[in-house]
C-alpha cells in the first residue's frame, strides 16, 4: 500500500470532523473520496498533508508511520496536494509559483520538470510571466496542479479540482488528471462532482458526516441505486 489511513479521528474544538476513518490507496490507483459538503473530505486531505493534527489514528506512507512527521517534510517524501480553492500565490508570477512547487526538492535543476508541465499546460507557458492573481479560475486550477507536480510526487491529493469551473474546463481538468495518472502518479481525488470522480477512479469511498459509509469499485458504485440517488442526483 502506498497510503494507508487507520482509524483517523480529527476534532475541531469539540466537534468531531472525522470519526475514526480507515482507507487505503495502492500505488498506481486513482481513488476518489466522495461525499456532500461538510462530510470531512477536505479535513481528510489536510490531515494527510499535515495541515491538521489528528487526535487519534495513523497515517502510513510507503509503510512508514508519518502521523508525527511535520507537514512540510511530507512533501519531500512524495505527498503533494492541490488544495481546495487552488490557493496559488497571487502576487507571484506563474513561473515563480511553479518554482515554489519545487521547493522541497533537493536537486537543483528543475527545468526538465517545468518544461514537461508547460507541455501539459500550454496556457501556463503563454502566461509564465503573468501575476497569478490575474489568471482566470481555470488557469489558476491548472497552475495549482502544475505547482503540485513540480515536486514530482508519488501521490497527488486533489481537493475539488472541478469547483467553480465551466463544464468544458471540468472535462479538461479531468483529462489532465487522467494523463498525470497515466504517467505514473497515484491520485487521491476529493470531489463533490461524484459522477465525474467515479468515472475516472478505480475505487471510491463515500464519506458522510465524518465516517465512511460505503466503499468499492468505482464502477459498482456508479451502478449502485442508493449512491445514484444520494450523490448522482438521479
Partner 1 sequence: MMSFLTSLVNGLSLGSIYAIIALGYTMVYGIAKMLNFAHGDFIMVGCYIIFVFSSSLGLPPVLAILLAVVLCTILGVTTERVAYRPLRNAASPLAVLITAIGVSYFLENMALLIFGADTKSFTSVVPWSGLSLFNGELVIQGITVVTICISLLILAVLQLFVHKTREGQAMLAVSQDRGAAMLMGIDVNKTITLTFAIGSALAAVAGALLASAYPSLTPYTGAMPGIKAFVAAVLGGIGSIPGAMIGGLVLGIIEILSRTYISSQLADAIVFGILVIVLIVRPAGILGKNIQEKV
- Does 60 contact partner 1 by CB under 8 A? no
Q: Which of residues 202-221 bind partner 1 (CB under 8 A)?
A: none
Residue pair 2/184 in contact (Cβ under 8 Å)? The answer is no
Provide the mask over 157-186, with x wherever binding to partner 1 is found by CB under 8 A and - wherever it is not: -------x----------------------
Please pick, from the candidates 151, 162, 185, 186, the single residue that binds partner 1 as defined by CB under 8 A.
Answer: 151
CA 180 from centre of chain: 12
Q: List 92's β-bridge partners, or say none.
A: none
Nearest CA-CA partner of 189 in 181, 39, 64, 18: 181
- Does 50 contact partner 1 by CB under 8 A? yes
Between CA 155 and CA 29 the distance in angstroms is 9
User: Smallest distance, Å, CB 219 to partner 1?
Assistant: 32
User: Smallest distance, Å, CB 186 to partner 1?
Assistant: 17
**Closest CB to partner 1 among residues 25, 88:** 88
**Closest CB to partner 1 among residues 27, 72:** 72
User: Smallest distance, Å, CB 72 to partner 1?
Assistant: 5
Q: DSSP letters of 1-14? A: --EEEEEEEEEETT
- Does 123 contact partner 1 by CB under 8 A? no
- Does 190 contact partner 1 by CB under 8 A? no
Nearest CA-CA partner of 3 in 206, 186, 199, 205: 186
| Phi, psi angle pair for 166, to nearest 5° | -70, 155
User: Smallest distance, Å, CB 205 to partner 1?
Assistant: 22
Q: Which of residues 66-95 bind partner 1 (CB under 8 A)?
A: 70-73, 75-76, 80-81, 83, 87-92
Please pick, from the candidates 103, 179, 216, 226, the single residue that binds partner 1 as defined by CB under 8 A.
Answer: 103
Residue pair 129/93 in contact (Cβ under 8 Å)? The answer is yes
Q: Which residues of 30-54 are buried (b: 16+ CB within 10 A; e: fewer)?
A: bbbbbbeeebbbbbbbbbbbbebeb
Residues that bind partner 1 (CB under 8 A): 49-51, 70-73, 75-76, 80-81, 83, 87-92, 96, 99-101, 103-104, 133, 137, 140, 147-148, 151, 164
Amino acid at each position: 500500500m502506498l497510503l494507508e489511513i487507520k482509524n483517523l479521528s480529527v476534532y475541531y474544538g469539540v466537534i468531531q470532523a472525522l470519526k475514526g476513518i480507515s482507507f487505503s490507496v495502492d500505488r498506481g490507483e486513482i481513488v476518489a473520496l466522495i461525499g456532500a459538503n461538510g462530510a470531512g473530505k477536505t479535513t481528510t486531505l489536510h490531515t494527510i498533508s499535515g495541515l491538521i493534527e489528528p487526535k487519534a489514528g495513523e497515517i502510513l506512507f510507503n509503510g512508514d508511520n508519518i502521523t508525527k512527521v511535520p507537514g512540510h517534510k511530507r512533501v519531500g517524501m512524495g505527498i503533494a496536494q492541490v488544495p481546495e480553492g487552488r490557493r496559488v500565490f497571487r502576487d507571484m508570477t506563474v513561473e515563480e509559483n511553479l518554482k515554489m512547487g519545487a521547493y522541497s526538492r533537493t536537486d537543483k535543476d528543475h527545468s526538465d520538470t517545468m518544461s514537461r508541465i508547460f507541455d501539459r499546460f500550454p496556457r501556463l507557458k503563454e502566461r509564465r510571466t503573468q501575476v497569478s492573481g490575474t489568471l482566470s479560475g481555470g488557469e489558476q486550477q491548472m497552475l495549482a496542479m502544475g505547482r503540485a507536480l513540480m515536486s514530482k510526487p508519488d501521490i497527488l491529493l486533489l481537493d475539488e479540482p472541478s469547483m467553480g469551473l465551466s463544464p468544458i474546463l471540468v472535462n479538461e481538468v479531468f483529462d489532465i488528471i487522467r494523463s498525470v495518472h497515466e504517467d505514473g502518479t497515484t491520485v487521491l481525488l476529493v470531489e463533490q462532482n461524484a459522477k465525474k470522480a467515479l468515472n475516472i477512479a478505480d475505487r471510491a469511498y463515500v464519506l458522510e458526516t465524518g465516517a465512511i459509509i460505503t466503499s468499492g469499485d468505482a464502477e459498482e458504485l456508479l451502478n449502485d441505486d442508493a449512491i445514484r440517488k444520494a450523490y448522482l442526483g438521479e
